[in-house]
Amino acid sequence: MADVEAYIKDLKETITQRDPNQPEFQEAAFTVLDSLKPVLKKHPEYIKANILGSLVEPERAIQFRVPWQDDEGNFHVNRGFRVQFNSAIGPYKGGLRLHPSVNLSIIKFLGFEQILKNSLTGLLIGGGKGGSDFDPKGKSDSEIMRFCQSFMTELQKHIGPDLDVPAGDIGVGGREIGYLYGQYKRLNGSQNGILTGKGLEYGGSLARTEATGFGLIYYLNALIKGQGDQLKNKTIKVSGAGNVAIYAIQKAQENGAKVVTVSDSNGYIYDENGIDVDVVKQIKEVERGRIKEYADKVKTATYSEGSVWDLDIKYDIALPCATQNEIDEDQAKLIAKDGAKYLAEGANMPSTTEAIAVYKENGIVYGPAKAANAGGVAVSALEMSQNSERLAWTFDDVDSQLKDIMENIYEKSAAADKEYDLGQDYQAGANIAGFEKVAKAMLAQGLV
């Protein structure tokens, strides 16, 4: 084991020296590196070929200027990114995020996570991610359109249907994908399904909108069943009020659970009678409003400023569906104190490393993001398949494939947990299960 320890230590030092200002990327990479130690012990050939050295370095990181004009005629310049991390098992695949916090560290952490997540789906997709520090909040449709057109004017030089197929993420939904797709087509003249998450009228897949939230609940169901328990009648705390949160709430309630919170970056709604998901959809998808408006529409609900993870109530399951590092160590302690037995991550890396340690110390059964939220990218890959064969599958067909994929992800993670005797560590289990396929593909192709 000594060689393995020294190898991982060396890699961490290289990452820290190369990219000292990338804390999110370091956090994501270090967690994966640590959890792969048992695999390296069993497979010294991965150390010999320095597979992990390649895995933590993107094949390509593209950064570009995005100039755009607002409705008053003022010019702005944002920064765009596309990180093409790993193509060992297929074309780069991963979303585009529009949020003021976006920087290279965040895009690299997301792209890195995407490699193993995409591998876990069992589909042939590599890992990538992109976005911009543009803030879509408060912008008019015309401003969003002009920004997306400018962004795609550069991005289109670097993507292709067999090369790199982006999708949505925070701040990028159906409207933005439409504008991006239109601009790609204008510049390239081809209808090749270059983005996923498209509208149903022009090549989108049924169930893509619901996929991440539904997939989270399919995974959660499998995780809970694995403990001999059931989702029915459980009380759930959800954070976020976006695409992932909305469809997680809907599917959890269809399964007989009660979701009592929903939130945004300003505050949260609490209703002990359960959240009415149709009201959330009306506010977020139709009116594009703020979540506090929920309390004006539903009299039993209360709105409070701050983080939903500081709300002290009894509940069974935590589903963070907002953003990275939204749960810190103290908030994790509150989750344990409040009696939550399960936590599955809809958002990417919503728990800090310290928070995850608290889950493990307190026996909270933990479903990590790269397993629990893989449903979105899985259905994106199914959208690519439909585009290639010029067919559109039914909602039920896509949804049942999604369910199978999510149950399989749990099974693979649980099998790795068992094989390496990890003690119910589904995070390490997911990392190992995702990694082994990528590592074999990298070795086979001489990509070392």
Minimum CB distance to ligand NDP, residue 34 (Å): 22
Type of residue at 89: I
Minimum CB distance to ligand NDP, residue 355 (Å): 15
Strands ordered across the beta sheet of 261-263: 261-263, 267-270, 302-305
Minimum CB distance to ligand NDP, residue 242 (Å): 2
Residue 169 interacts with ligand NDP (CB under 6 A): yes or no: yes
Q: Which of 113, 143, 264, 383 binds ligand NDP (CB under 6 A)?
A: 264
Minimum CB distance to ligand NDP, residue 155 (Å): 18
> Would you put residue 290 in left (φ > 0), alpha (ψ -120 to 50) or beta?
beta
Candidates 93, 108, 117, 129; catalytic one: 129
Stretch that binds ligand NDP, among 2-10, 140-148, 241-249, 355-363 (CB under 6 A): 241-249
Residue 240 interacts with ligand NDP (CB under 6 A): yes or no: yes
Contact 319, 239 (CB under 8 A): yes
Q: Which of 22, 118, 196, 373 binds ligand NDP (CB under 6 A)?
A: 373
- Judged by beta carbon, residue 11 or residue 173, the one nearer ligand NDP is 173
Question: For residue 136, which of 183, 173, 99, 91 has the smallest C-alpha distance?
Answer: 99
292 given a catalytic annotation: no
Q: Which of 58, 127, 166, 168 binds ligand NDP (CB under 6 A)?
A: 168
CA 347 to CA 370: how far, in whole Å? 9
Residue 346 interacts with ligand NDP (CB under 6 A): yes or no: yes
Residues 6+ apart with CB under 8 A from 91: 125, 126, 160, 161, 162, 163, 164, 165
Element (H, E) at 375: helix 375-389
Residues 6+ apart with CB under 8 A from 17: none
The two tokens of residue 378 are 């899985």
Q: Which of 153, 188, 253, 265 binds ligand NDP (CB under 6 A)?
A: 265
- Judged by beta carbon, residue 46 or residue 214, the one nearer ligand NDP is 214
Binning the chain into helix, strand and coil, the percentages to the nearest 5 are 50, 15, 35
Q: What x/- string results for residues 127 through 166 when contact with ligand NDP is judged by CB under 6 A? A: ----------------------------------------
Q: What x/- string results for residues 413 through 442 when contact with ligand NDP is judged by CB under 6 A? A: ------------------------------
- Judged by beta carbon, residue 26 or residue 212, the one nearer ligand NDP is 212
Reduced to 3 states, what is the DSSP secondary structure of residue 227? coil
Q: Which residues within the stretch 266-325 sit at the binding site for ligand NDP (CB under 6 A)?
A: 266, 321-323
Contact 97, 107 (CB under 8 A): yes
CA 411 to CA 408: how far, in whole Å? 5
Element (H, E) at 269: strand 267-270
Q: Which residue is nearest to ligand NDP (CB)?
A: 242
Partner residues linked to 169 by β-bridges: 172
Show which residues are catalytic. Answer: 129
Write out the residues near ligand NDP by the rule CB under 6 A.
168-171, 212, 240-245, 264-266, 321-323, 326, 346-348, 373, 376
